[in-house]
Amino acid sequence: MNYTEFFKKIDAEIKKADSIVILRHESPDPDAIGSQVGLREIIRATYPEKTVYLLGEMPSSLTYIGEMDEITQEQFDASLIIVLDCANTPRIDCPFEVDPSNVIKIDHHPDRDVYGAISFVDTNSSSTSEILCRFVFGEESTWKVSKEAANALYAGIVGDTGRFLYPATTAVTFAMVSKLLEFDVDISGIAYHMITNPVSVSRLAGYIYQNMEISENGVAATILSQKDLEHFGIEEDQTHGVISLPSTVEGIHCWALFVEQPDGSYRVNLRSKGPIVNEIAQNHGGGGHPLASGAVVSTLEEAHQIIAELNESAKAFLSAR
């Protein structure tokens, strides 16, 4: 990937704009918010005269990285739009209508839904936050890093690498983190936010360990109803804190967490240590990485269909080993 060339392209667009809106995917994770806040802080540090807005729904669990803004349609229409960490246009989280052909896309997910007037996708990068690090720390970079930018980008990288445990973690990842740490990154503060859960979520974690269905192919699945959420007293967005739990259980290759929505549909997160799961998500109108993806399904029947497809994928993975 030609980072220098793209850096110059996006920098030229930012220079031309007085006002910039930064978007990312819905149901955000630390990389979505970290890259969003990180880029805003880079622009603030480099071009203090420009106005930068961040839009999208914000779960309370991620406000330690930064906060979103509220703007008018007029302000939105007058802004350069940058979309981060969002593989497909239906997942762009924005209260206004977005013309995908008119945005700058920066992402590390497989580029199936090609969009953007300018598009930079590096699937070898651990995270969108890591891509932004490579821009800002590039040899010909004119961008500045602040403590605020470094903390947000660090949180994004730590989030998407599962604290440097996932295979997407590379020598480049550590090189970028090493540079970020020169800007007073609160490592233990960020770790505290990432590893602690409210008591209610911890109780739910116990429930999932106790009740997840495990198949002979090493597929684990949990379906949470609205009643379950009520019973544990947790908000829907807090279930993100328990998605990765089955990864610590021996013999589990991939897993699914279904959470019933108020309208009766189910949001599902798929995670894997080998079997490909994003094709399954795509079959059901979702998307994501080969090893981490999501979708929304309308019925319990379709949820069980996904579990069956996970078993097929796990079987294929096991027989190919």
- Site of interaction with Mn ion (CB under 5 A): 31, 85, 127-128, 160
Task: Report in angstroms how near the CB of residue 307 gets to Mn ion at its nearest.
Answer: 25
Task: Report in angstroms how near the CB of residue 166 gets to Mn ion at its nearest.
Answer: 11
Nearer to Mn ion, 93 or 309 (CB): 93
Integer Cα distance of 301 and 264 in angstroms: 12
Helix H or strand E encompassing 286: none
Task: Report in angstroms how near the CB of residue 182 gets to Mn ion at its nearest.
Answer: 23
Residue linked to tokens 């800007």: 183
Nearer to Mn ion, 85 or 260 (CB): 85
Q: Are 144 and 46 in contact (CB under 8 A)?
A: yes
Of the candidates 243, 231, 227, the residue with the CA atom closest to the CA atom of residue 59? 243
Task: Report in angstroms how near the CB of residue 91 gets to Mn ion at its nearest.
Answer: 12
Task: Report in angstroms how near the CB of residue 125 gets to Mn ion at its nearest.
Answer: 9
Q: Are 113 and 287 in contact (CB under 8 A)?
A: yes
Integer Cα distance of 48 and 20 in angstroms: 12
Task: Report in angstroms how near the CB of residue 303 gets to Mn ion at its nearest.
Answer: 25
Nearer to Mn ion, 54 or 221 (CB): 54
Cβ-closest residue to Mn ion? 31
Radius of gyration of the chain measured on its C-alpha atoms: 20
Nearer to Mn ion, 162 or 198 (CB): 162
Integer Cα distance of 132 and 180 in angstroms: 11
**Structure-block tokens of residue 156:** 């994004």
Vertex 60 angle, CA 244 and 22, to 5°: 95
Helix H or strand E encompassing 80: strand 80-84
Nearer to Mn ion, 127 or 272 (CB): 127
- State whether the Cα torsion 131-132-136-140 is positive or negative: positive
Nearer to Mn ion, 85 or 309 (CB): 85
